[in-house]
């Protein structure tokens, strides 16, 4: 029906559902490893790796749809339907955004997933490592990194990513707690996001407060339910020149 934006939203919901299944397998693999059942953990990790490509392909489709909508269909190359040029253009757009905002963990994460979608696993591994270096609490980046390492035959390194819950540093723990409380009151939550920017910049590695909030909400399992609200907040917080 040529409704690219609506299609992108549906693909995005599908990514969230598939990622939740992957998260469940990763959680099971972690539990098995901690219980000393390493062989079972490897089998479970293989199941996560088998399901993960669905998320990569769906997110790539979401990104390309949004890219095409942004150009209004007037793309700078021919044969736009399922064209390799299209996904490469999307990857290039992410790289440009990273150049402008190198401390944004979500951009590195999305670049990693895009790299997985085109089978460039070594570049995906680097992107996820960059994500975790910026924000160690980005749990899905850790899961994706484990899957990439497993897929490239680095099973020992993949198992090293399967760790139990880490004790959060005090400020990070308080941040998760306060955002969870705020989310209980939707009106207060929306109005308070604007006032959290200075607090977040002082207490998180990344200086991008809106992204920090989205990572916290993802850790809390609330990201899919507040995605549209966050998009509106991000556009109010960030200057137009930084929008993608």
Mean pLDDT value of segment 150-157: 94
On whether the pTM is more than 0.75, the answer is: no
Residue 85: predicted pLDDT: 74
Mean pLDDT value of segment 6-34: 89
The tens digit of pLDDT for each residue in 204-231 reads 544 455 566 666 776 666 654 444 343 4
195 in any annotated domain = yes
Q: Is the pLDDT of residue 232 over 90?
A: no
Please list the alpha-helical segments (H only) found in 118-169.
121-134, 139-151, 155-160
Mean pLDDT value of segment 183-194: 72
165 in any annotated domain = no
Same domain flag for 62 and 124: yes
Mean pLDDT value of segment 175-196: 74
Find the CATH number of the domain harbouring 73: 1.25.40.10
Q: By the 8 A CB rule, do 146 and 161 touch?
A: yes
Same domain flag for 150 and 185: no
**Domain enclosing residue 111, as ranges:** 4-160
Q: Is the pLDDT of residue 40 over 90?
A: yes
CB contact set of 80 (below 8 Å; sequence gap of 6+): 68, 73, 86
CB contact set of 29 (below 8 Å; sequence gap of 6+): 41, 42, 44, 45, 48, 162
Residue finishing a domain among 140, 160, 180 = 160
Quote the DSSP letter at residue 80: -
Mean pLDDT of the chain: 77
């Amino acid at each position: 029906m040529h409704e690219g934006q609506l299609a992108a939203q549906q693909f995005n919901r599908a990514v969230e559902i598939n990622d939740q299944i992957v998260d469940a397998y990763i959680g099971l693999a972690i539990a098995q490893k901690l219980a000393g059942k390493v062989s079972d953990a490897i089998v479970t990790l293989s199941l996560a790796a088998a399901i993960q490509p669905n998320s990569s392909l769906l997110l790539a489709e979401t990104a390309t749809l949004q890219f095409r909508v942004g150009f209004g269909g007037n793309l700078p190359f021919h044969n736009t339907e399922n064209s390799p040029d299209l996904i490469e253009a999307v990857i290039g757009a992410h790289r440009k955004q990273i150049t402008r905002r190198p401390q944004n963990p979500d951009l590195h994460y999305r670049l990693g997933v895009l790299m997985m979608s085109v089978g460039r696993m070594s570049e995906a591994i680097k992107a996820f490592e960059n994500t975790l270096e910026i924000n160690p609490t980005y749990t899905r980046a850790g899961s994706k990194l484990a899957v990439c390492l497993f897929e490239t035959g680095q099973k020992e390194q993949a198992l090293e990513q399967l760790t139990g819950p880490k004790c959060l540093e005090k400020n990070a723990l308080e941040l998760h707690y306060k955002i969870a409380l705020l989310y209980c009151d939707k009106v207060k939550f929306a109005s308070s996001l604007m006032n959290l920017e200075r607090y977040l910049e002082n207490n998180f590695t990344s200086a991008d407060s809106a992204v920090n909030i989205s990572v916290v909400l993802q850790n809390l399992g609330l990201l899919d339910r507040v995605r549209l609200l966050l998009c509106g907040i991000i556009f109010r917080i960030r200057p137009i020149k930084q929008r993608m």
